[in-house]
Structure 1
Amino acid sequence: MTTGPNRILDDFAKLMTDAAGAAQGLRKEVETAFQAQAERWLNAMDIVKREEFEVVREMAIKARDENEALKARIVALEAKLAEKSA
């Protein structure tokens, strides 16, 4: 068992360690609460997530490519039809 100044320093060190642990726990709690609030706020604003945006973007690119291919096919078919008509 320690006595005198050493015990006071030991108690003070223990108190600081406990305070640091409590502060770290509080910080984690605040971060979690802030993140949850930010997510609710973004959901209320109806903002899409990056992953959803990328999926829709890829779908749009694919649809545009298909439209261009169909357009070229229509032009070719119309040209054939014009040849047969003439």
Structure 2
Amino acid sequence: MPPSNRLFDDLARLMTDAAGAAQGVRREAETVVKAQVERLVRDLDIASREELDVLRDLVTNLRTQNEALAARVAALEAKSGTAGAGAAGLSEVV
């Protein structure tokens, strides 16, 4: 029986080594794929999430300012007695 136990031990060791090698190959493949995807995204010049958040905040602030200016123009026109299309045109652009 000792020869068969040694055979099973060698087979188990071989399987363990093969599993370790397979994990190493998997990690290496993941690293290569990740690097390629990052390079592709960088080459496509895609905006990052942070850049989109900054742009969204900027647009929101500009809309608020535009609405405030349109209200001021409307108030000035009402005060001067000239009801022009200027304020209406500004609010329609937004």
Residue 8 of structure 2 aligns with which residue? 9
Partner Cα separation in structure 2 for residue 42 and residue 63 of structure 1: 29
- How much identity, in percent, do the aligned residues show? 52
> 56-65 vs 32-41, which deviates more?
56-65
- Structure scoring higher RCO (CA < 8 A, sep ≥ 6) equals 2
User: Alpha carbon RMSD of aligned pairs, Å?
Assistant: 1.8
Helix, strand or coil at the partner of 1:40? helix
Map 1:15-26 to 2 at 5 A.
Answer: 15-26=14-25
Residue 63 of structure 1 aligns with which residue? 62
Helix, strand or coil at the partner of 2:46? coil
Partner Cα separation in structure 1 for residue 17 and residue 72 of structure 2: 75
User: What letter is aligned with 1:45?
Assistant: L
Partner Cα separation in structure 1 for residue 50 and residue 4 of structure 2: 60
Helix, strand or coil at the partner of 1:64? helix
Helix, strand or coil at the partner of 1:35? helix
Segments of 5+ residues of structure 1 without an aligned counterpart are: none
Map 1:32-51 to 2 at 5 A.
Answer: 32-51=31-50
TM-score, structure 1 normalization? 0.82
Segments of 5+ residues of structure 2 without an aligned counterpart are: 83-94
TM-score, structure 2 normalization? 0.76
Stretches of 4+ moved more than 4 A in 1?
none
Aligned length: 82
